[in-house]
Structure 1
């Protein structure tokens, strides 16, 4: 028991040191977080528009999220930039630890049970245990997780909300729907999981998610007014349409689906 508790203690200390190190770094080097912070503060104090080339830090670091994200980000906008960035990354580490724990606690599948119950391999070697199977994904994912924590993008929270929704879809469909709807309300890409849930016949999750999504989309109306919120949604859609689909809009070929397709299927002029 002591050994188990001591391992938990040392793991907690290591995670706390890691979170503190990232918090210290991003407090003085906020990257994407700076765009959210300046953009939100500018909107709330009336010095910057919500959308357009002068929003956020100005093009190409302008504000690109739906109005809902402004309300969710408001508590961080109240804090000084450095403190807000530090709290942001500590929250990410906490969510990451919870997510890993939730995945590790999933019951073993039939295939995994059979693999673990196999007789020893030649030379007496046993099959990799469950923790051993995490090593390869860890080495693949670690660089991206580090970059995510360093840049301070909101993408991680969207991923966590989507993953949580899929993890609890069968046990807690309403909470799963709320989590998925909030993710879709911030970024569009979690919408691609709706057909997957339909194929699994998770009707409750899909139907509740649509209701929650409508509610979350209208939530900024309490601050901007109903017409103001609709106008902002129209501005956001127009801005993203021009960025993603217009040939006249210059944009960087990033790791998004559009960016990857552009690199492989079109001729890119990097000059």
Structure 2
């Protein structure tokens, strides 16, 4: 692993953004705002798993801190849960910073190489990306969420896919699916594009992730834990269709937008099934777009489709 150099592209971006992120970390510590409340959920969930306490249906940290991820995600955070919270939170913060730098560089390289005919690298798009996303990025750093890390993971998967490393690409997509099953929307793309190795790996990794806790909890314990997770997921999916507040503040997801503007007139109240059906329609529409690109023989179609 080489150290960043000011005179080598894109290392100047890494140095500048890394310095800004470290400055923000210091300011958060000075102001007593280094909370990372979303990370607290992962941290406390891992500790609950270690101590045999309930993982689902209880608040971890804030009252709204409900763990809604697969049990294996709590297992992944066990190493950090063994550390004092301040140390673990700092590591999470640095991981998010590194993930944003990596995601920005990967996206820039993919777009330049496959969509802009190999255009030479420039710092302007990278720093403009930071300016456009600065508010959302600060929120991610302040909360300690995993969204930026998942973005980096998925862009890395795309980079591996177009490089011919299909099994690795599928495994990376599978890891993202473990964290957020809604990323199964990428499976139709892989199937229609006949990326069989990537598809198998993307399915195999979540299957392994589901089975892995059984090594420590036994089959019955693993089944009970996953049943509780599915119940939590169902409640979370229904909550994606937010109907409280006025018409402006309620439209906060694609699910709630479609529900409030159209589907409520036919389906009544929001349900978890409605959210999954909306996701299915989006996947079908994406599949139709992929087929259109295949019929037109677009050589860079998979990059456009994946990024969409």
Matched, 1:28 2:30: no
- Could you tell me how far apart the structure 2 residues matched to 1:229 and 1:250 are? 34
In the TM superposition, residue 172 of structure 1 has moved relative to its aligned partner by 0.9
**Alpha-carbon deviation of 1:135?**
5.8
Residue 225 of structure 2 is matched in structure 1 by 232
Q: Residues 49 and 55 of structure 1 are in contact (CA less than 8 Å); yes or no, is this contact kept in structure 2? A: no
Is residue 2:157 matched to residue 1:165? yes
The answer to whether the 8 A contact 1:39-1:57 is kept is: no
Q: 1:226 to 1:138 in 2, by over 3 A?
A: same
**In 2: Cα distance, 1:67 partner to 1:113 partner:** 43
Hey, what's the Cα distance between the residues in 1 that align with 2:35 and 2:201? 40
Residue matched to 2:20: 18
Tell me the C-alpha RMSD between the 2 structures: 3.4
Normalising by structure 1, we get a TM-score of 0.77
Shift of 1:187: 0.7
Match in the other structure for 1:43: 49
Counterparts of 1:1-271 in structure 2, within 5 Å, are 5-8=5-8, 11-24=13-26, 25=28, 28-46=34-52, 48-52=53-57, 54-57=58-61, 59-106=63-110, 108=112, 112-113=116-117, 130-134=122-126, 137-170=129-162, 171-245=164-238, 255-262=252-259, 264=261
Aligned to 1:28, the other structure's residue is in SS state coil
- 2: distance between equivalents of 1:207 and 1:159? 21
Give the TM-score, by structure 2 length. 0.68
- d(CA) in 1 for partners of 2:152 and 2:130? 17
**1:141-177 CA distance string (max 9 Å, x none):** 2322221111111222222222221221132111111
| 8 A Cα contact 2:105 2:126, kept in partner | no
Report Cα offsets for 1:231-250 as digits up to 9, x if no partner.
Answer: 11111111221343389x99
Larger Rg: 1
CA pair 218-6 structure 1, distance change in 2 beyond 3 A:
same
Q: Give the stretch that moved more between structures: 84-93 or 14-23.
A: 14-23
Unaligned runs of 5+ in 2: 266-308
Shift of 1:214: 0.9
Q: CA deviation at 1:199?
A: 2.7
Higher relative contact order (CA 8 A, sep 6+): 1
The separation in 1 between residues aligned to 2:227 and 2:70, in whole angstroms, is 10
Alpha-carbon distance in structure 2 between the residues aligned to 1:147 and 1:88: 14
Answer 1 or 2: which has greater helix percent.
2
**Partner SS for 2:55:** coil
Return the offset for 1:49: 0.5
